[in-house]
Structure 1
């Protein structure tokens, strides 16, 4: 499901600021506002655009400590079981199954070190978890909220 060059430019503009007016985007890409809206509606219907959201600094919300937890699960643990368990933790920002030794990597935002430790202990105590390995993020170097599109 590739995007044509015009759709790519529209998606790139929305990824930078999803609140941009269609007229503003249209002026940038050479279309009228209604034409941009039609294209965005079509991209949403196709599933290329899955939604619009706001990005919040976790530190402003009292969650300034970030850590990554590698999960090593017991055999025959289904990804759906991991997802279901981790969805119960409001501190979990993302979780993905991965290649390599670990079965999954979990991104956690906590209020402080002690809070992170408590979350880690609770996750490690899940029935399917054999062991964990964690690291704390010192300084985020680069954060992209959407993959860059080809130029």
Structure 2
């Protein structure tokens, strides 16, 4: 990192330590190649719930699945966006079926990821 920003290792360490103390940096992560682990399918599922469903129930009924990476509760239609990983298409269908059975789900729409881009990687990754 020091080389990339043109500073000494000691200067970068001081700055990173300071950012951690301030709570700006909250942790560090590892990048995982899920395809090499057999979880090559990535998708987003829009979830719609009955109007009286509390946010806590949406989170509770979706986060209990190992395939669920992230849950975003959102304003408007749909009510939540679920980031999923699955082994294959059959497994993805099973996960979606299980999600549909939880809580007051009134509808879903699933979008499969074909490729992705992130600020960190600066390149397109194929799914």
The counterpart of 1:82, out of the listed 46, 49, 58, is: 58
Task: Confirm whether residue 144 of structure 1 aligns to residue 114 of structure 2.
Answer: no
- TM-score normalized by structure 2? 0.80
Cα offset for 1:63? 0.9
| SS in structure 2 of the partner of residue 51 of structure 1 | coil
Query: What is the number of residues matched between the two proteins?
Result: 121
Q: Work out the CA distance in 2 between the residues paired with 1:93 and 1:144.
A: 17
Could you tell me which residue of structure 2 aligns to residue 73 of structure 1?
A: 49
- TM-score normalized by structure 1? 0.69
Task: Confirm whether residue 97 of structure 1 aligns to residue 78 of structure 2.
Answer: no
Note the aligned Cα RMSD (angstroms): 2.1
Against the structure 1 CA distance between its residues 76 and 48, is the aligned structure 2 distance closer, same or farther, given a 3 Å change threshold?
farther
Could you tell me which residue of structure 1 aligns to residue 105 of structure 2?
A: 129
Q: Work out the CA distance in 2 between the residues paired with 1:114 and 1:80.
A: 29
Cα offset for 1:30? 4.3
Unaligned runs of 5+ in 2: 123-127
Could you tell me which residue of structure 1 aligns to residue 96 of structure 2?
A: 120
More strand by share: 2
| SS in structure 1 of the partner of residue 36 of structure 2 | coil
Q: Work out the CA distance in 2 between the residues paired with 1:74 and 1:63.
A: 31
